[in-house]
Structure 1
Amino acid sequence: MKRIKPRPLVASHVVKATPRQVGGGRPRAALVEKAKASIAKGSKSFAVASMLLDRTTRERTHLLYAWCRRCDDIADGQDHGGELSLDKASALDRVEAIRILTHRALDGQPTADVAFDALGQVASEVGLTRQMADDVIDGFQLDAEGWRPRSEADLMRYCYHVAGAVGVMMAQVMGVPADAEDTLDRACDLGLAFQLNNIVRDIWEDDAAGRCYIPEEWLVEADIPPGQHMKVTNRDALVAIVQRMVDMARLHDAHARIGAGHLAFRQRWAILAAANIYGEIGREVVAQGPAAWDHRVHTGSLQKLGLVGAGLVEAVSGSYPPEAEPVWTRGKLIALARKDRPAPDIRETPLPDEGVRPA
C-alpha cells in the first residue's frame, strides 16, 4: 500500500523564517531611554560612574546593564532588587526562560522584552557572543539549583559567573578587542572584586532568603555550624571571614586598576570611580565589625562624589602599584565554569550580515 505523505497546511514557499530584527525591531533611542531608567533605579553607583563615559559608550553600558538587571530580577522574582522570592519551584523554569530569551536576542530575533532586545542591540554593535552571555546565566542556574559553595574555588567560580563574566562583556562594550586577553583578565578582576564586596554587604539578606555564599570550608575553620553564621555569638568569627573576603576583593581590585590604565581617559576614570565606590562598601563592612549587618551598608551621595574625585586623581596620575598575583585568574575560572558545558554552536560568532559596528 502506497504511503501518502501529509501535505502542509500552507505551501512551503509561503512559510518564511522570522526576519532578523536587531533590538527587537524597536528604535535604538527607545531602548537606550528604557535602559537609562533601569540603571537609575537599580544601581546609583553604576549610574554615577557611567556618567563619566562618552555618550556612545555610556549608552552601550546602559543597554548591557538593563539585560543584567532584568535577568537578575527574573531569576530572583524581584523588580530592581528588594526582597528575594522564596519560590524555588519555578526557579529553574525562570532561568531557562532567561536563556531562551537571551539566545533569541543574540540571534537577532524580537523577544517582546525591552531588556533582552537591548542586549540584542548592543551585542550587534560590539560583538558580544552567546558564550559570554551563557557564562553569566550559569550563575543564575547555580542559585536556582539551591547551590552553595563548599570551597574557595566554588565561591570564585560563582563570582566569575555573576560578575567577572559581566566585567568581560563590559570591557568589550568599552571597545577592548576580543583578543586583548590581558585587559579582559583585568576586567574580570574588577567584576570579581565587585561581587566579593557585594557578598560581604548582603550576608544578612542572603541568609534571610536561604542563601549563603561563604564557603563551607571557611565556616568549618571558624567553628561556625552550617546556617548559624548570623547568630550573635558567631559575629566576631564572621567578621574575620569577611576580612578575608575583602582582602581578596582588594587584590582583584588592584589588578583591575592596572587594566584601567589601558583604557581611554574617560573610561579609565569611570572604572576607577566604580572601583572606589564598591571598594568602600567592603571597607565600611569591615569597619563596622559585628554591627555591619544591623542595617544595609551603602555610600551616600557626598561620599560617592569624593570617591569619583579620587578616581579622577588616579586616572590623571596613572599610578597603578603592582600587587601580588591573585590565586584565581580568569583562565582558571573559565576552566571551572565551562568544564561541563557543551561546545558553543556556530551562532557563537557575530552573524555575517550584521557584523560589528566600529566603536
Structure 2
Amino acid sequence: MRSELDAAGIVDARLRADYALCRALHADHGRTYFLATRVLPPARRPAIHALYGFARWVDDVVDDLGTRTRGVETAAALDALDGELRAGLSGDGSTEPVVRALADTTRRYGIPAELFAAFMESMRMDLTVTDYATYDDLRRYMYGSAAVIGLQVLPVLGTVVPRERAAPHAAALGEAFQLTNFLRDVAEDLDRGRIYLPADVLSAYGVDRGLLTRCRREGRGDPRVRAALAELVALNRADYARARPGLAMLDPVSRPCVATAFTLYQGILDEIQASDYDVWSRRHAVPGRRRARVALPALGRAVMARLTASRAPVPTA
C-alpha cells in the first residue's frame, strides 16, 4: 500500500490512513475486483480503492440501518451520511475517513459530484424498496447503484477516445457486474427482505417471493426458479456484450485491469450455470486456479503496456 500511495503522490499522513482504510474495505469485500485492480499501475490504484471503499461503506451502513432503525430515525441517519458526503465533496471537510479519501480522489480526477448524488438516491431506495416489478424498474435502481460506478472510475482508468464515447460502455459494465452480484447473492438478499430480480421475469416462470423464500429455507432450488435464473443469466451476458467495445477505448495501461474483471465476473456466471443454478447452498466464486490463469497473463500485458507508454516520445509544443 505504501508504494501505491507514494506513486500517487499522496503524502499527508491522515489522508494516507484514509486511503489505507478504503483499500482494506476493497480487499475484504471485493475480492474479484480487488484482484483486477492489482493489474493497474500503482499510481491509479488508490483512487479505485477510494471509490470502491466509499460504495462498500455506504452499502454496509444502509444495510445496518435497515436492520436497526425505522422510519424517521432511518431517514435522519442517512441524511447525516449524505451531509458528510456533501461536506467532503464541497471542500468543507468530512469527519469520515472514507469520505475524505473519496473527496481527494474526485478532486484529483475531476469526477462529477452528480454521480455520487445518483448513487445516494439508489441507496435511499434500499431503505424502502424491497423488490422491483420490471426489468426497467431494476435498471433505474442500477443506474445509481452501479452504472455511475463505471462512470466514476472512467476518469481514473483513462481513455484513448473522447470520454463520452466510452461512457455508455462503462455504465453497462457497472450494471453487468451488479446483476452478476444479484444473481450470486439471491439468498443473502432474501435474508435482508430484498429481491433484486425483476418480478416480470420471475413471474413468467411462476416464481414469486414465496417460492424463493422456500428455496432459501430448504437450501435447494426448484425447476421454475432455475428457468428464471437461466433467463436472467442470459440477460446478464447480453449486458457484458454491450460493455465489451469499451475495453478497446481505455488507456492501454488500464485495459488489462478491466479485462481481468470482465472475464472473472463472467466466471461467476459460469459457476452458477455449472451448479445448475444452485444459488442456495453456496456462494459462488471463481476458483483460485482460474483466477490466477486470468490475472497472471493480464499482469504481463499490463507491464508491457507500461513499458511501451514509458518509451513513447514526449510530445513537443
TM range (shorter): 0.7 to 0.9
CA contact (8 A) 2:159 2:249 kept: no
3-state DSSP of counterpart to 1:111: coil
Matched, 1:170 2:153: yes
Of 201, 205, 216, 1:222 maps to 205
1:66 and 1:118 in contact (8 A); partners too: no
- Specify whether residues 177 and 105 from structure 1 end up closer, same or farther in structure 2 by C-alpha distance, changes over 3 A only: farther
| RMSD over aligned Cα atoms | 2.6
**Distance across 2 between alignment mates of 1:26 and 1:108:** 18
Say whether the 8 Å CA contact 1:286–1:292 is kept in structure 2.
Answer: no
| 1:126–1:175 CA contact under 8 A, matched in 2 | no
* Paired residue secondary structure (1:265): coil
Residue 85, structure 1, aligned to residue 48, structure 2: no
The residue that corresponds to 1:280 in the other structure is 267
In structure 2, distance between residues paired with 1:305 and 1:221: 39
Q: CA shift at 1:261, angstroms? A: 0.7
TM-score (norm 2): 0.82
Normalising by structure 1, we get a TM-score of 0.73
Match of 2:251 among 264, 286, 293: 264
Q: 2:3 maps to which residue?
A: none
Contact kept? 1:92, 1:145, Cα under 8 Å: no
Are 2:21 and 1:34 equivalent residues in the alignment? yes
Among residues 83, 100, 103, which one is paired with 1:100 in the alignment?
A: 83
- How far is 1:270 from its partner? 0.4
Per-residue CA deviation, residues 207-232 of structure 1 (Å, 9 max, x unaligned), is 11110112222232212244322434
- Cα distance in 2 between the residues matched to 1:72 and 1:177: 32
Matched, 1:254 2:258: no
Corresponding residue for 2:121?
138
Tell me the residue number matched to 2:5.
none
SS at match of 2:43: helix
Deviation at 1:287, TM superposition (A): 1.9
Cα distance in 2 for residues equivalent to 1:271 and 1:314: 12
Taking the aligned partners of 2:170 and 2:111, their CA distance within structure 1 comes to 15
- 2:182 equivalent in structure 1: 199
What is the SS of the residue equivalent to 1:37? helix
Aligned residue number for residue 108 of structure 2 = 125
Q: Which letter does structure 1 place at the counterpart of 2:171?
A: C
* Contact map agreement 1:32 1:59 (CA 8 A) in 2: yes
Spell out structure 1 runs of 4+ moving beyond 6 A: 312-316
Q: Which residue of 2 aligns with 1:110?
A: 93
Q: Say if 1:161 and 1:71 are closer, same or farther in 2 by CA, change over 3 A.
A: same
Shift in Å, 1:134: 1.0
Consecutive unaligned residues of structure 1, counting only runs of 5 or more, are 1-22, 79-83, 317-359
Please, which runs of 5 or more residues in structure 2 have no aligned partner? 1-9, 304-317
Does the C-alpha gap of structure 1 residues 314 and 55 become closer, same or farther in structure 2, counting only changes over 3 Å? closer
3-state DSSP of counterpart to 2:212: coil
Residue-pair matches, total: 288
- In 2, Cα distance between the equivalents of 1:185 and 1:303? 29
Give the counterpart of 1:238 among 203, 222, 225.
225
**1:241-287 per-position Cα deviation (integer Å, ceiling 9, x unaligned):** 21222212212212322111111223100001011111111221122
Change beyond 3 A, Cα 1:108–1:177: farther
Per-residue deviation at 1:187?
A: 0.6
Deviates more, 1:112-121 or 1:94-103: 94-103
Task: Please identify the structure whose Cα radius of gyration is greater.
Answer: 1
> Retained in 1: the 8 A contact 2:39–2:302?
no
How many angstroms apart in 2 are the aligned matches of 1:86 and 1:208? 14
Name the CA shift for 1:26/1:296 in 2 (closer, same or farther; >3 Å): same
The answer (yes or no) to whether the contact 1:272–1:314 under 8 Å persists in 2 is: no
Residue 192 of structure 1: how far off its partner (Å): 0.9
**Cα distance change of structure 1 residues 223 and 156 upon mapping to structure 2, 3 Å threshold:** same
SS at match of 2:285: coil
C-alpha separation in 1, matches of 2:139 and 2:124:
15
Q: What secondary structure, in the 3-state scheme, does the structure 1 residue paired with 2:92 have?
A: coil
- Number of the residue aligned with 1:294: 281
